[in-house]
A and B are shown apart, each in its own frame.
Chain A
Amino acid sequence: MTRALPAASRPFVAFPALLRQHGFAVAPEQTVAFLEAVRLLGPRSIEHVRRAAVATLAPHPHQMARFDALFDLHFLGGFAEPDEADDWQPDEETKIQEEGGEREILVGESVNETGQQAIEAEALAVRRLRPADDGGLLVRLARDLPDALPRRRGYRFRAARRGQRIDLAQSLRAAIRTDGEVMSLKRRRRGTRTRPVLMLIDVSGSMKGRTDANLALAHTLVQAAPRAEVFTFGTRLTRLTRVLKLRNREQALAQASGLVADWDGGTRIGDALQAFLAVPRYAGYARGAVVVILSDGLERGDPAAMIAAMRRLAARAFRIDWLSPLAADPDYRPETDAMAAIRPLVTTLANGASTAAICRHLTALGDGRAA
């Protein structure tokens, strides 16, 4: 840079820098667009600057509250460091009303919910995840999983020796080489795509022994599968996919531990599933997907809610695999009201007692060998 910035524009250049310090991805071209926008709008008031900033720096909707807090801090001289707990999600929060009083299932995506008021039935906890030594199981899972998942027909056409459709572009190209004589008709067909995987992990107290290992497994799943979504549930529902996309497992799990607020608490599977289905964006993740639920199914809430939610989930999913630690016992029969009622909706109810058992199940999904 050969010229110093005019003093008046410095705060506007400094703001994107501040955003970057707080984890927002802001490209230099967006800073330029922000300056231009401020110039175009006048600015006549601080609200014009704010609107220019939102439009050009494009914060993700779930980062909006943090963005506003940083804006206030920077331009209005706010006092506090913005709390990371207040992310606003226009279409991603939902409340579940229950009979006998109001209880909430809070839906969070990349949300640290420590600022939320805890409700009586919840035991909110902070937990340090320690992935156990899996003896290379997860390395093998990462290697085998992409080829092992079920596939469906895709919508994109690819060149193929045999196919339903004639590839006119390629056929013409071949014909040009033979002076317009069509010697061979090239063909194309629809390819296949790996089905998405949706993993729902029970993090309630009764699953305490499996939680660390299940989260480590979920990290491998998100890393290895072409499309995977991971949510945890106990008394709340939390989307973990975003943090599990971090390549480094320790870092990812450290962030996940801060994100989930209901470790080792109670279980309200029905409410959590209904909260999941009530967000159209989330419910879409289940469409045509392999849904894997890691839970013992010990429901503390109303079984009717769980049954209704499972019915809706089953209508969307390609298959639902319920992997329960209790199923390690060959004599296990789902006898609670809820589990007995949802048994017909579940494709398989199988052993989820160890990482090895879950890995075996996942890698056998595609070829009909799933237990």
Chain B
Amino acid sequence: MVLRAPMPGLSSPEALADALRAAYYLADDGIATAAFLALALGKPLLLEGAPGVGKTEAAKALSGILGRQLIRLQCFEGIDASAALYEWNYPRQMLAIRQAREGEHADIYRDDFLIERPMLAVLRRPQSTVLLIDEIDRSDHEFEAFLLEFLSDFSISIPERGTLRASERPVVVLTSNRTRDLHEALRRRCIYHYIAYPDPAREAAIIMLRSSAVAEATARAVVHAVGLLRQEPLTKPPGVAESVDWAEAATALSRTGAPWPDAFRRSIGAALKDEEDLAHMRPRLDALIGAIAR
């Protein structure tokens, strides 16, 4: 196994957690360790967890502290190699063939006919980019198998051009919402971390870090309420992003003169974004707001 040279200033999980904190991402020990190991061992980092716990944010923060460009590949059902890797610019190739004079050879497989997609971009510039493969669970099994090949040796073959291999292992972060089980072979190739909802103190800290306008008492109240909401059988339980939104929304409303309980109630749409969930919570909302309002 080829180890990366230790990154300057990121010699331990704690140092990495400090750097992430400076990039406005509060990492607990588990994620700091996993991210540190992924960087040090040159393996992809696979982050799983419920929607809104900060998986994508983690990748953004990592790219921030490494000073590298984040290249995002959003997965969807039916995604294939031409969306992820590269595609030839066919109309231009066709024009080039038509324009070539008799007896002249048109090289239609030059770089300027190649349209670069995220994975190829990362292979070409592994030292300056972070590849985020977002929501891998949305793609189908064919794409997952294709990804396995890419992640094992960070090379891709373009039939007309030959095999392109990364000069060093790029930083890759994969995220999954667990809407389906990923293939074991994919998990094996990655450093794995399951991001759970943060504990209340950490979540309050995240809210205040993300939004300086929110008072500590508001952040605590929102975290308490969101904790109660997550115990309800909801279709879309609020994630950390929703907690931040709710705290900001309630703060904004209170500035316009709305009293606190009312501000929380009126801004509930920042936390619950599903009509069924709102209908389920409506009769319980007074009790919930009563429990948290100052």
Contacts and interface: CB of A to CB of B under 8 A. Distances in A.
Interface string B215-240: 00000000000000001011111000
B93 A172 contact: yes
Given A90-B194, A91-B178, A275-B233, A280 B98 contact: no
B220 to A, nearest CB: 23
Contacts of B177: 281
Interface of A: 25, 27, 29-30, 32-33, 36-37, 40-41, 47-48, 51-52, 54-56, 58, 60-61, 64, 90-91, 94-96, 154-157, 168-169, 171-172, 175-176, 179-180, 182, 274-275, 277-278, 280-281, 283-284, 312
Given A30-B188, A169-B90, A180-B94, A48 B33 contact: yes
A280 B194 contact: no
Nearest to A109: B181
Contact of A55 (B12, B37, B80, B140): B37
B76 to A, nearest CB: 7
Contacts of A172: 88, 90, 93-94
Contacts of B37: 33, 37, 40-41, 52, 55-56
Interface in B270-284: 276
A90 B50 contact: yes
B188 A58 contact: yes
B233 A278 contact: yes
A175 B97 contact: yes
19 contacts: A36-B41, A41-B33, A51-B13, A51-B33, A54-B192, A54-B193, A55-B30, A55-B38, A56-B37, A90-B196, A96-B233, A154-B78, A155-B77, A156-B78, A168-B90, A171-B90, A180-B98, A281-B177, A284-B180
A180 B100 contact: yes
For the complex of A and B, the 9 pairs showing the least CB-CB separation, nearest first, are A155-B78, A278-B233, A58-B192, A180-B97, A168-B90, A51-B33, A55-B34, A156-B78, A27-B188
A176 B97 contact: yes
A206 B90 CA distance: 64
A32 B72 CA distance: 30
B269 to A, nearest CB: 19
A95 B231 contact: yes
A37 B1 CA distance: 12
Interface residues of B, number: 55
Interface of B: 1, 3, 12-13, 29-30, 33-34, 36-38, 40-41, 43, 46, 48-51, 76-78, 80, 88, 90-91, 93-94, 97-98, 100, 108, 140, 142, 177-180, 184, 187-194, 196, 231, 233-237, 276
A47 to B, nearest CB: 8
Contact of B192 (A55, A168, A169, A278): A55
Contacts of B184: 25
Contact of A281 (B41, B76, B98, B178): B178
Contacts of A283: 235
A306 to B, nearest CB: 14
Contacts of A32: 1
A177 B276 CA distance: 58
Given A36-B1, A180-B97, A155 B76 contact: yes
Highest count of chain A CB atoms <10 Å: which of B30, B77, B188, B233: B233
Given A41-B13, A169-B90, A284 B41 contact: no
A283 B179 CA distance: 9
B250 to A, nearest CB: 25
Contacts of B236: 280
Contact of B50 (A36, A37, A280): A280
Contacts of A47: 29
A278 B230 CA distance: 10
A156 B142 CA distance: 10
Nearest to B178: A281
Contacts of B98: 180
Contacts of A284: 179-180
